Amino acid sequence: MICILPTPNLMAKTPFLIPLMFLLLFATFRATLSANITIDEFALLALKSHITHDPHNLLATSWSTSVSVCNWIGVTCGSRHHRVIALNLSSMDLTGTIPSQLANLSFLGWLDIHNNSFHGSLPTELTNLHRLKYLNFGNNSFTGVFPSTLGNLSKLERLVLYRNDFKGQIPITIGNLSNLEWLYLDYNSFSGHLESEIFDNMSKLQVLSLAENQISGSIPNSLFKCKELMFLSLWNNSFEGSIPIEIGNLTMLQSLYLGYNNLKGDIPSTVGSLTSLVFIDISYNKLAGIISHF
């Protein structure tokens, strides 16, 4: 004779099991959250250690380990993961350099330090900020070549590096930024030619400003594939050759600045078809003809 014993009801025998499971899950969640906050805290503290002048004591008083990084001045955290998603230190009169550890802010989507006195070169590790959509380092004192690795920031929509001292040729890898809408590289020391491949995939580009550099060569025809373009400034460079007739493709263009270059030849009649155009400056070139639209 075989006796079948009833299966014990473990949940009934151990009523503390469910609360214990929740406690373990909660502890794991808190540990993960704490580790993530620590990563962001270390990255920001590395930046703080590279600040050599903070005249208003903004970071000195606010960026303290006694409070959460989410409460630090200029820092915004996401509501879900409590990770740093935005860093805005613009117009704080800060002086310093950018450490490579800043790239550990892996949830960062907005980075704005414009109008300060940051200097040195940009660390190549910034390419690890895969969520970055807005990058504004304008009006600082950065030097060196334009980091070609920034072309890996595939989600980038606005790139602003005006009024620095970047040198060398604008790298072809910037053409990988297919989501780019704004590109401000004016008032630097860029030189060399603009490679035509740069603009092949920039169908969303609305603003392009390369004014006050030392860029030479002809204006690439591929630039006029950017039919969303509304603002174009190549003012005060060393561009040469003629204005391509394809400029008429920019039907949304409102402002055009080509003055102070070495352009020559006839003004293409297609300029007259730019019906959205409000401002145009083609002075101090060797151009001939009239623009019928005006």
- Residue 150's nearest CA partner among 164, 162, 135 is 135
Q: The CATH number of the domain where 131 resides is what?
A: 3.80.10.10
- 222-262 per-position pLDDT tens digit: 999 999 999 999 999 999 999 999 999 999 999 999 999 99
CA distance 122 to 100: 8
- Residue 30's nearest CA partner among 40, 22, 20, 19 is 22
CB proximity list for 20: less than 8 A, separation 6 or greater: none
Q: What Cα–Cα distance (Å) separates residue 190 from each residue in 135, 145, 169, 235, 277?
A: 19, 8, 6, 13, 27
- 43-90 per-position pLDDT tens digit: 999 999 999 999 999 999 999 999 999 999 999 999 988 899 999 999
Per the DSSP assignment, residues forming a β-bridge with 279 are 255
- 88-142 per-position pLDDT tens digit: 999 999 999 999 999 999 999 999 999 999 999 999 999 999 999 999 999 999 9
Residue 9 lies in a domain: no
Count of residues making up the chain: 294
Residue 38 lies in a domain: yes
CA distance 91 to 112: 10
CB proximity list for 14: less than 8 A, separation 6 or greater: none
- Residue 211's nearest CA partner among 243, 233, 192, 226 is 233
Residue 255 lies in a domain: yes
CA distance 282 to 211: 13
Pair of tokens at residue 156: 């980038």
For 150-154, 156-160, 162-166, 187-191, which range has the lowest pLDDT when averaged over its residues? 150-154
Question: If you ran DSSP here, which 8-state letter would residue 173 be given?
Answer: G
Confidence of residue 35 (pLDDT cuts 50, 70, 90): low
Determine the pLDDT at residue 213.
98
pTM value is 0.87
Confidence of residue 9 (pLDDT cuts 50, 70, 90): low
Question: If you ran DSSP here, which 8-state letter would residue 150 be given?
Answer: G
Determine the pLDDT at residue 11.
45
CA distance 20 to 258: 71
Residue 1 lies in a domain: no
Structural domain that includes position 71 = 20-288
Residue 237 lies in a domain: yes
Confidence of residue 4 (pLDDT cuts 50, 70, 90): very low
Residue 11 lies in a domain: no
CA distance 270 to 292: 10
Residue 12 lies in a domain: no
Exposed/middle/buried for residue 125 (C-beta within 10 Å: 0-12, 13-18, 19+): middle
* Domain tally, the chain: 1
Contact 238, 216 (CB under 8 A): yes
Q: Which amino acid is at 220?
A: P
CA distance 262 to 242: 9
- 165-176 per-position pLDDT tens digit: 999 999 999 999
Question: Rounded to the nearest 5°, which phi and psi values hold at 30?
Answer: -65, -40
- 194-232 per-position pLDDT tens digit: 999 999 999 999 999 999 999 999 999 999 999 999 999
**Is the per-residue pLDDT at 6 higher than 70?**
no
Angle at 223 between CA 221 and CA 226, to 5 degrees: 130
**Is the per-residue pLDDT at 281 higher than 70?**
yes
